[in-house]
């Protein structure tokens, strides 16, 4: 049976034995899964009684994890004015932009690797050239 609960109702369930969370405006009772969660109970307790959409999606859960989640579904969230809004990328250009330092640092790492590789090759050939002349 599907319930419709407010954010205030969900926020009352924050303990290990009574843990609700919201993901994509659906409410899940994760109490029975806390001990089994591969990331540990601390991860679950950090989002207990809250909208965990961003945390859930940022990790990139598997299809199996999503199936387990479906088994924990107990209802839907009835949003009211003043409730925290989920912070999930994909809607606007600003939210789909890369986070500062994420892609840029990877690109910089590849550039640095390429420079070191080319520099090493040049040093090797210069060493070979100088040894051949001597």
Mean pLDDT, residues 17-39: 93
pTM, to two decimals? 0.62
Mean pLDDT, residues 44-66: 91
Q: Domain coordinates of the chain in residue numbers? A: 1-91, 104-134
Q: Which residue has the higher pLDDT, 114 or 24?
A: 24
Residue holding tokens 């994760």? Answer: 30
pLDDT at 32 over 60: yes
Mean pLDDT, residues 44-55: 92
CA dist., res. 43 & res. 105, Å (int): 26
pLDDT band, very low/low/confident/very high, at 113 (cuts 50, 70, 90): confident
pLDDT band, very low/low/confident/very high, at 108 (cuts 50, 70, 90): low
Give percent above pLDDT 70 in the chain: 81
pLDDT at residue number 82: 76
Q: What H or E segment, with its residue span, contains residue 21?
A: strand 18-23
CA dist., res. 80 & res. 93, Å (int): 26
**Tens of pLDDT, residues 59-106:** 889 899 999 999 999 999 988 887 777 665 544 333 444 444 444 445
What's domain 1-91's superfamily in CATH?
Answer: Cytochrome b5-like heme/steroid binding domain (3.10.120.10)
pLDDT at residue number 94: 38
Residue holding tokens 């690109």? Answer: 107
CA dist., res. 46 & res. 112, Å (int): 37
């Amino acid at each position: 049976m599907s319930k419709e609960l407010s954010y205030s109702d969900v926020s009352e369930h924050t303990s290990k034995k009574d843990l609700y969370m919201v993901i994509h405006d659906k409410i899940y009772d994760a109490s029975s899964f806390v001990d089994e969660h591969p990331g540990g109970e601390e991860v679950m307790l950090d989002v207990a009684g809250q909208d965990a959409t961003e945390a859930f999606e940022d990790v990139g859960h598997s299809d199996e994890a999503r199936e387990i989640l479906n088994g924990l579904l107990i209802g839907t969230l009835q949003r009211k004015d003043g409730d925290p809004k989920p912070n999930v990328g994909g809607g606007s250009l600003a939210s789909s932009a890369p986070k500062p330092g994420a892609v840029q640092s990877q690109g910089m790492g590849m550039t640095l690797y390429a420079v070191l590789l080319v520099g090493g090759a040049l040093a090797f050939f210069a060493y070979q050239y100088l040894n051949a002349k001597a």
